[in-house]
Structure 1
Amino acid sequence: MSGPGKWWRRKSTPAKVETYTRWSFHSFAAAEVTVFALPVLGQVPLPYALWLCLLTCVHAAFGAVVASRALDWTRGRRAQPLPLMSAYGATSALFAGLVLWLADQDLGGEDTATALGTVTAGLLFFGVGMITLGVRSRRRVLGLVLGFSAGVGLLALALGAGMAALVAALAALFGTGFFAMTSVFSVWLLNAVYELDEARETRARLAVAEERLRFGRDLHDVIGRNLAVVALKSELAVQLARRGREEAVEQMLEVQRIAVESQREVRDVVRGYREADLGVELLGAQGVLKAAGIDCEVTGDAAGLPGEVQSALGWVVREATTNVLRHGDAARCSVVLEMSEGTVVLMVENDGAETAVAGSGGGSGLAGLRERLRAVDGTLEAGPAGKGTFRVVARVPVAGEPVAQESLAEDAPAGAAPVAAERGAAA
């Protein structure tokens, strides 16, 4: 049994369900022969019994082929087998009518009539059930069941069955309806399993795509500001070098330091270990903006805030600082961090926004910040706050003590040179 066991284990869950469904309907053919064909041999006189047994076996084999083709169509592997289904339906009706006609010929006693009626029911039940595998519309399935049931009743009435015709029609209705419902449910279950499997694969692909977007956003947030500073300091170094000033060497050393730091940060992003620290980002923003000749005042203290809140707000500070450097012509920028009614509020405001490209607040960087803040139930507002002023406000609910209102050290971090003074000297 190791061979069949391995064959079964290698199949996916949808493939297992499909195999089970197929063999279930193939077993219906064996059940039709066992339940309806073989008993005829002992209940109907020869040679009618042999012909009826052969007729039922042919019908069962035909039904197995129809079921296989219909399931292939259900899975999209072949065209809908309409000609085959039509031929099978006509064969089922013809065989059932022939058996009913034989039952009216009084070939034997009551047992013979019962056996012939049972064969008729089997032909109709299995016939309708196999056909409905290849029918998608529920209305057509209902019409098929009602049509076969009405046909049985009319044929029995034409043969002089009287009230028995109504009984035959009702029996055909319930029997064919049951088999049709079984077929429809089996197809629905098979399709549902495949759709769930496809949905799981889609979810996995979306997770990969989301991670790629997150990675790209992190790279943008990490190197965007640093590249802006590198461009600024490189431009200043060029101007100083053209005038033979020794300060050009210091500026290029600072560019080298920022490039090395950017490499480290990119490696941290790749490893997935990087978290923005709000205190460090506030100090860094102040130093970078001052080095660019922008008067920057930072108010508030990040101490005591949860790590995930600090990380989210740290990215806001980084992105806002990058936008101040890259867009507009700011001369002043203020960063305020405060606690208000259980909510941490971070506000970054700058002037010189008349020509700001990011003034609409629709950039990809701001969209990434909104995603980060949503992870901590925060919100982000960005837009003009008056004539020539642009404001970014982030709010994150948090339980804790109010953030102290105090100005951070005015000194920039080590290595951040006061570019404003050097600009004046270079001029």
Structure 2
Amino acid sequence: MTLRTPRPILGWQRAWHARSKAARVELQSVIMWRFLPWVFALTWMALPLLAGLQHGLLSRLLAASLLLVGVLQIVWANRLVRPVLDHYLGRAVLPPRALWTPAALFVLALALVATLHGLDAVAPWGCRLALGAVLLSFGTVYAMVVPVRIFLRHSAIGCVLLMTVFGLLRGDVGEVLFTAAITAFGAGLSILGSRCGAWTLAVLWEAERSRDIEARLAVAEERLRFGRDLHDVMGRNLAVIALKSELAVQLARRGRPEAESQMMEVQRIAQESQREVREVVRGYRGADLGVELSGARGVLTAAGIDCTVTGPPAGGLPAPVQSALAWVVREAVTNVLRHGNPQRCTVALRTAGDRIELSVENDGAPVPEAQSEDGPEAGSGSGQASPVGGAAGRGSGLAGLRERLAEIGGTLRAGPAGTGVFRLTAEVPLPGPSSSPSAGDGSFGARVPDAEAAPPSGTRAVPSPPSSPSSPSSPSSLSEVTP
């Protein structure tokens, strides 16, 4: 009998995993900034006031008023935490009037503390602690609104004023020193707890944006590489086709028999171009597995992800196997960068009998509904999971990898491998001792180019003219549709 996690907890888990790292730290910081003033109000204000309160109606009224003002001060501070943080991070502008009510409550609370201290309604140590709680409630918000030098300047001015007031009320040097110490402690804790935390959040969000930019640059670089390869393949061939077509037109107008051979050469170049374009699209232009593994480790490490690559050297694998697995690594790493919030990624290459297996596993994947109800293996290997465990895979990434691996007899499995863990596994058969991928016998699923296919029905074979020594060898026969 398995215990199922309650649905509210599953909802909280999914919402937590859906957030980025910076968003999680921000949520934790906001909760802390809203919770700490209540802790200080209870331990530094409520308990000392109740413990050191003198008997008398006026004393009780003043203490109750201070507690009420302190609660209102914390409520307003909690309401301002998110707007003040957005103001510090540059997301929104905080209107100046937003601090009027907290400032008025702060001054009123200081006046009540001074009155209680001057009337001896509360023990001196209770008034000092209440003063610290009042300073922290307002200081945690005010420290994120103004620059540090202005906050320190205003804190110094406030410290001098409080020292003067409490010194006049008691006329004791020790009282003045205690007031200065508690004021400095409140100001320092406010700027360390709120300002430094907000600065850390700003750095995390900047790193998050840098990571997103790096992922987009990696995708853009891949697009540029593909466009460059496509231009290299098609640029020259299209220019030759245009030139030979123009030459064939001129020869046909003059009634020269060479026009037919020129058009047959145009047909041959067009078929060769079609084959080369397919090779570019399918990635058969020499992707190196070792280079891709090294590049994957570098890119993931630069993005703040702990990447581990294990397994034997990839240099001894056949070229078709290396090319197919290299594209698996490239696609998997790109999806890890673009989706989820991983902290680690493991790339493992191992040999299992006559097959080579490559697995890419990362954490930080959201927990899908099917996995939470039916177990971690639900949907694994079905092809419907996204590359990092996100939404259902509707793109062409996994489908393209399956087609590429199927051509050399390989398989691809992708799916969750536990809570928040996604694994992509590719298996490719190793060639036997007598097989050679370059022998042209169709091993590893190599297909015969379309230009060398047998002519379909309704066509007649036309002998190819002898090609020039500098041009590529033409196929044994070409097809021309009969009129």
TM-score for both structures, normalised by structure 2: 0.54
How far apart are residue 199 of structure 1 and its match? 1.4
Map of 1:96 onto structure 2: 110
* 1:61 correspondence with 2:69: no
Instruction: Map Cα deviations across residues 90-134 of structure 1 (whole Å, 9 max, x no partner).
Output: 4313311331232022225xxx12111210121013311221123
Map of 2:20 onto structure 1: 12
Q: Which range is displaced more, 88-97 or 260-269?
A: 88-97
Map of 1:156 onto structure 2: 166
Map of 2:32 onto structure 1: 24
Task: Report if the CA contact (8 A) 2:109-2:134 is conserved.
Answer: yes
Q: Which structure would you say has the larger Rg? A: 1
42, 45, 48: which is aligned to 2:51? 42
The letter for the 2-side match of 1:51 is S
Task: Report if the CA contact (8 A) 2:66-2:109 is conserved.
Answer: no
Task: Report if the CA contact (8 A) 1:222-1:265 is conserved.
Answer: yes
Q: Which range is displaced more, 80-89 or 112-121?
A: 80-89
Map of 2:97 onto structure 1: 83
The letter for the 2-side match of 1:88 is P
How far apart are residue 21 of structure 1 and its match? 1.1
C-alpha change, 1:235 and 1:68, in structure 2 (3 Å) is closer
Map of 2:149 onto structure 1: 139
The letter for the 1-side match of 2:52 is Q
The letter for the 1-side match of 2:469 is D
Q: In the aligned structure 2, how far is the partner of 1:180 from the partner of 1:93?
A: 19
257, 260, 264: which is aligned to 2:271? 260
Give 1 or 2: higher helix fraction: 1
Unmatched 5+ residue regions in structure 1?
Answer: 277-306, 308-409, 417-427
212, 226, 232: which is aligned to 1:221? 232
The letter for the 1-side match of 2:164 is L
Map of 2:256 onto structure 1: 245
Map of 1:412 onto structure 2: 470
Map of 2:200 onto structure 1: 189
Q: Which range is displaced more, 16-25 or 34-43?
A: 34-43
Task: Report if the CA contact (8 A) 1:129-1:179 is conserved.
Answer: yes
Q: In the aligned structure 1, how far is the partner of 2:199 from the partner of 2:143?
A: 12
Task: Report if the CA contact (8 A) 1:254-1:415 is conserved.
Answer: no
> SS state of the match for residue 38, structure 1?
helix
C-alpha change, 1:29 and 1:182, in structure 2 (3 Å) is closer
Map of 1:2 onto structure 2: 10
Task: Report if the CA contact (8 A) 1:97-1:155 is conserved.
Answer: no
How far apart are residue 414 of structure 1 and its match? 4.8
Task: Report if the CA contact (8 A) 1:233-1:251 is conserved.
Answer: yes
* 1:129 correspondence with 2:140: yes
Task: Report if the CA contact (8 A) 1:145-1:177 is conserved.
Answer: no
C-alpha change, 1:159 and 1:414, in structure 2 (3 Å) is closer
Q: In the aligned structure 1, how far is the partner of 2:78 from the partner of 2:241?
A: 74
C-alpha change, 1:47 and 1:174, in structure 2 (3 Å) is closer
Instruction: Map Cα deviations across residues 27-54 of structure 1 (whole Å, 9 max, x no partner).
Output: 0232133113321123213233322222
Instruction: Map Cα deviations across residues 183-211 of structure 1 (whole Å, 9 max, x no partner).
Output: 11111122222222221111111112111
C-alpha change, 1:47 and 1:142, in structure 2 (3 Å) is closer
C-alpha change, 1:83 and 1:158, in structure 2 (3 Å) is farther
Map of 1:317 onto structure 2: none
Map of 1:203 onto structure 2: 214
CA RMSD, Structure 1 to Structure 2 (Å):
2.5
Q: In the aligned structure 1, how far is the partner of 2:30 from the partner of 2:153?
A: 25
Q: In the aligned structure 1, how far is the partner of 2:191 from the partner of 2:143?
A: 6
C-alpha change, 1:83 and 1:186, in structure 2 (3 Å) is same
The letter for the 2-side match of 1:27 is F
* 1:232 correspondence with 2:229: no
TM-score for both structures, normalised by structure 1: 0.60
Map of 1:315 onto structure 2: none
> SS state of the match for residue 239, structure 1?
helix
Q: In the aligned structure 2, how far is the partner of 1:76 from the partner of 1:237?
A: 66
C-alpha change, 1:119 and 1:133, in structure 2 (3 Å) is same
Q: In the aligned structure 1, how far is the partner of 2:185 from the partner of 2:51?
A: 27
The letter for the 2-side match of 1:43 is G
Q: In the aligned structure 1, how far is the partner of 2:42 from the partner of 2:469?
A: 94
How far apart are residue 152 of structure 1 and its match? 1.8
Q: In the aligned structure 1, how far is the partner of 2:182 from the partner of 2:78?
A: 24
Q: In the aligned structure 1, how far is the partner of 2:73 from the partner of 2:154?
A: 18
Equivalences for residues 335-354 of structure 1 within 5 A: none
Q: In the aligned structure 1, how far is the partner of 2:101 from the partner of 2:77?
A: 11
The letter for the 1-side match of 2:171 is A
How far apart are residue 70 of structure 1 and its match? 0.9
How many pairs align? 280
C-alpha change, 1:4 and 1:234, in structure 2 (3 Å) is closer
C-alpha change, 1:414 and 1:74, in structure 2 (3 Å) is closer
Q: In the aligned structure 1, how far is the partner of 2:76 from the partner of 2:243?
A: 81
119, 124, 127: which is aligned to 1:113? 124
> SS state of the match for residue 159, structure 1?
helix
Q: In the aligned structure 1, how far is the partner of 2:45 from the partner of 2:69?
A: 8
Q: In the aligned structure 2, how far is the partner of 1:131 from the partner of 1:414?
A: 76
The letter for the 2-side match of 1:170 is A
C-alpha change, 1:166 and 1:42, in structure 2 (3 Å) is closer
Q: In the aligned structure 1, how far is the partner of 2:247 from the partner of 2:231?
A: 24
How far apart are residue 248 of structure 1 and its match? 0.8
Task: Report if the CA contact (8 A) 1:125-1:172 is conserved.
Answer: no
Q: In the aligned structure 2, how far is the partner of 1:91 from the partner of 1:155?
A: 18
